[in-house]
């Protein structure tokens, strides 16, 4: 589909169809505003007919708004797959949280995205469409972009869909497109080590966020199957490489699970392994997922843990949790068949 293509790829395609090159820019700009083909007034019908099969189609099958202003939409693509995306509004801007896969095969014990396994990878254009949708909803355009930040923290493991995610990052940061700066993009991974190296070598300079959630491999293995494949030490080495290549401080996510990873020993061990690294810890009290038995901690406890980490010399904050009432918070996104509950 057309949103998978960069402007220069679209120019090539348009010429293959026997049309003048300038049509590509017109089409590209209209597509990035998610216009339907009939709405595009500056293109001749003969051209629209030629391109119709390659255009995009999607349907919003649910749109929920939280009391805190968070929006969550369920988007259905032409093959029937449904993914969820979230818009979070903060003082400093508006962040879109995109899904990168339909489902997920990482199997983390606390996460809703993995309940039905992986259905398929999203294409670059399908990931981009989620950002474009919210930009349009906010009344933005290409010149006056309303979305300021993008996080790859929705459903799916971005580094398990490496090529499409890299393509998406190129499209998202393209000056002729939404032109979002890499420093306003965060990519979160449960730690697919070889692909952290590959991402560093791609040279995107996005913020790398590691879902750590445990200070040692034994405990991590009990909640995250990926820990059987890669040791924390290997992840940290890959992070050091990422930092050396990009200069970007690494962020570690640590979801606090009551009685599992929130003990004083755990926190001390966490501080010990991160000591001396240019990094930041984001603490998130675990959000509830109805099928999962694990419980979160109170925000008060999370703040006290942040204080302990800071005393031990580690930069740490508690993440604001938005959109909980619409199951739009971390770990609550899923692929709802047909978009219903």
Of 82, 98, 111, 271, which one interacts with ligand SAH (CB under 6 A)?
111
Tokens found for residue 314: 């580690």
Q: Alpha-carbon distance 269 to 223, whole Å?
A: 17
Least spacing, CB of residue 302 vs ligand SAH, in Å = 11
Among 83, 129, 178, 286, binds ligand SAH (CB under 6 A): 286
Rule CB under 6 A: is residue 331 a binding residue for ligand SAH?
Answer: yes
Shortest distance (Å) from residue 35 CB to ligand SAH: 31
From the list 70-78, 103-111, 260-268, 310-318, the region that binds ligand SAH by CB under 6 A is 103-111
CB of 184 to ligand SAH, least distance (A): 17
84 near ligand SAH, rule: CB under 6 A: no
- Residue 154 to residue 164: CA distance in whole angstroms: 15
DSSP structural state of residue 339: G
Assess contact for 185 and 150: CB atoms under 8 A: yes
Q: Which region among 60-68, 77-85, 171-179, 187-195 touches ligand SAH (by CB under 6 A)?
A: 187-195
How do beta strands 316-318 and 279-285 pair?
parallel
Q: How far apart are CA 323 and CA 313, in angstroms?
A: 31
Residues 6+ apart with CB under 8 A from 48: 37, 38, 40
Which range of residues in 4-12, 53-61, 188-196, 265-273 is near ligand SAH by CB under 6 A?
188-196
- For 124, the 3-state DSSP assignment is helix
Does 95 interact with ligand SAH (rule: CB under 6 A)? no
Residue 255 in the binding site for ligand SAH (CB under 6 A):
yes
Query: Least CB distance from residue 9 to ligand SAH, whole Å?
Result: 28
Q: Are 82 and 338 in contact, with CB atoms under 8 Å apart?
A: yes
Give dist(CA 79, CA 77) in Å, integer. Answer: 6
Instruction: Indicate if 330 belongs to the active site.
Output: yes
Judge contact between 26 and 40, C-beta under 8 A. yes
Size of the site for ligand SAH (CB under 6 A): 18
Does residue 121 touch ligand SAH according to CB under 6 A?
Answer: no
- Please check whether residue 185 is in contact with residue 173, taking contact to mean a CB–CB distance below 8 angstroms: yes
- Identify the residue whose tokens are 């998406």: 168
Residue 190 within binding range of ligand SAH, rule CB under 6 A: yes
302 makes contact with ligand SAH (CB under 6 A): no
CB distance 314 to 275 below 8 Å:
yes
Pairing of strands 279-285, 71-77: unpaired
The residue whose Cβ lies closest to ligand SAH is 331
CB of 323 to ligand SAH, least distance (A): 12
Q: Which of 95, 161, 195, 211 binds ligand SAH (CB under 6 A)?
A: 211
Q: In this chain, which of 153, 205, 206, 283 binds ligand SAH, going by CB under 6 A? A: 153
- Residue number with CB closer to ligand SAH (153 or 267): 153
Of 279 and 286, the one with the shorter C-beta distance to ligand SAH is 286
Phi/psi region, residue 247 (left: phi>0; alpha: psi -120 to 50; beta: rest), is left
CA 323 to chain centre: 16
Our answer to whether residue 104 is catalytic in this structure is no
Question: Interface residues with ligand SAH (CB under 6 A)?
Answer: 106, 108, 110-111, 153, 157, 188-190, 211, 253, 255, 284, 286-287, 289, 330-331
Catalytic residue numbers, as ranges: 84, 330
């Amino acid at each position: 589909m057309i949103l998978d293509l960069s402007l220069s790829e679209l120019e090539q395609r348009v010429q293959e169809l026997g049309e003048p090159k300038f049509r590509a820019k017109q089409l590209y700009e209209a597509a990035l505003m998610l216009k339907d083909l009939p709405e595009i007034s500056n293109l001749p019908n003969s051209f629209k007919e030629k391109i119709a099969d390659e255009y995009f189609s999607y349907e919003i099958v649910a749109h929920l708004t939280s009391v805190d202003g968070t929006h969550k939409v369920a988007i259905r693509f032409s093959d029937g797959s449904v993914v969820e995306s979230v818009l979070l509004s903060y003082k400093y801007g508006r962040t879109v949280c995109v899904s990168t896969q339909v489902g997920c095969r990482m199997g983390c014990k606390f996460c809703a995205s993995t309940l039905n396994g992986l259905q398929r990878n999203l294409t670059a254009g399908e990931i981009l469409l989620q950002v474009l949708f919210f930009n349009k909803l906010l009344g933005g355009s290409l010149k006056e972009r309303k979305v300021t930040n993008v996080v790859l923290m929705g459903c799916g493991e971005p580094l398990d869909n490496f090529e499409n995610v890299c393509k998406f990052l190129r499209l998202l940061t393209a000056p002729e497109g939404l032109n979002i700066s890499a420093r306003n993009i965060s990519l979160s991974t449960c730690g697919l080590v070889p692909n952290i190296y590959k991402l560093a070598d791609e040279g995107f300079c996005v913020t790398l966020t590691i879902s750590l959630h445990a200070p040692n491999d034994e405990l991590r293995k009990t909640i995250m199957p990926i820990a059987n494949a890669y040791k924390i030490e290997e992840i940290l080495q890959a992070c050091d490489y990422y930092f050396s290549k990009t200069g970007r401080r690494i962020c570690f996510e640590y979801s606090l699970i009551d009685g599992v990873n929130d003990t004083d020993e755990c926190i001390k061990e966490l501080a010990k392994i991160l000591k001396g690294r240019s990094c930041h810890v984001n603490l998130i009290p675990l959000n509830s997922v109805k099928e999962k038995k694990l419980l979160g901690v109170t925000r008060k406890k999370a703040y006290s843990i942040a204080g302990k980490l800071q005393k031990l010399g580690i930069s740490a904050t508690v993440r604001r949790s938005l959109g909980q009432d619409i199951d739009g918070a971390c770990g609550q996104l899923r692929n709802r068949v047909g978009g219903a509950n």
